[in-house]
Chains A and B, each alone.
Chain A
């Protein structure tokens, strides 16, 4: 089954404790992206990747890092999480061409205390 898998689904952590949210897709998509979703603000793009070893900033990249060492994986790293990073995070992938729809994972709900 074609899917984007994120882990974990829920995560509660404390300020400053490094964490990684994993994302994996099995559709051989070149393009992958991370979004955060907050009430009233909608989905905002954090980082995206056009292919292996190619990443770029989205609209809200501060406080986040990503890497794309393999085509299928695109982990999101929070080196020193802060409470304002409490949010619902989504990973998405698509073919690398105009018009291609995004395939989303089921989300990771992160709480930073």
Chain B
């Protein structure tokens, strides 16, 4: 069955460094993948979408890569700030289509001042 794995439950990083979060998927090949940010007790907020034919996507300090050979997406936050502390979720649609988006369990990022 389809599986999404995000690296570790928590990632602590020093302010100003680049944070790299990993999303691995198995047993299927999504046509695109979305990344969301979730703050405690709040709903996820959409950040970026990357399609299978795009190697890299950028938005301000955020960068997402999509390697269909490795079945992996990497999410980078450069010059990280304490305000970036949150849980980040990757979300590819499952093989049933976009109607059934499947979310990873998320990686909690803590940026230390």
A interface vs B, CB < 8 Å?
A: 4, 31, 33, 35, 40-43, 45, 48, 50, 56, 58-59, 88, 90, 92, 97-107, 109
Q: Say whether B46 faces chain A, with CB atoms less than 8 Å apart.
A: yes
14 A-B contact pairs sorted by A residue (CB < 8 Å): A4-B43, A33-B101, A35-B103, A42-B105, A50-B99, A90-B43, A90-B44, A92-B43, A99-B49, A99-B51, A100-B98, A101-B34, A102-B44, A103-B46
In the assembled complex, which residues on chain B have CB atoms less than 8 Å from the CB atom of A102? Answer: 34, 36, 44, 46, 91, 101
CB of B21 to closest CB in A, whole Å: 14
CB of B71 to closest CB in A, whole Å: 18
CB of B108 to closest CB in A, whole Å: 11
CB of B64 to closest CB in A, whole Å: 13
Q: How large is the interface on B (under 10, 10 to 19, 20 to 34, 35 or more residues)?
A: 20 to 34
User: Which of B45, B93, B97, B105: most chain A CB closer than 10 A?
Assistant: B105
A97 to B31, CA, bound (A): 13
Instruction: Decide if A107 touches B31 in the complex (CB within 8 Å).
Output: no
B31, B45, B102, B103: the one contacting A98 at CB < 8 Å is B31
Instruction: Decide if A45 touches B105 in the complex (CB within 8 Å).
Output: no
CB of B86 to closest CB in A, whole Å: 14
Q: Which residues of chain B in 41-78 are interfacial with respect to chain A, using CB atoms and an 8 Å cutoff? A: 41-46, 49, 51
A71 to B101, CA, bound (A): 20
CB of A49 to closest CB in B, whole Å: 9
- Residue of B whose beta carbon sits closest to that of A58: B100
B32, B97, B101, B106: the one contacting A45 at CB < 8 Å is B101
Could you mark each residue 23-41 of chain B with 1 if its beta carbon is under 8 Å from any beta carbon of chain A, else 0? 0000000011010100001
Instruction: Decide if A31 touches B99 in the complex (CB within 8 Å).
Output: yes
Given contacts A42-B103, A43-B44, A101-B46, 10 further A-B contacts (CB under 8 A): A33-B99, A45-B101, A48-B100, A59-B100, A98-B32, A99-B98, A102-B46, A104-B44, A106-B42, A107-B42
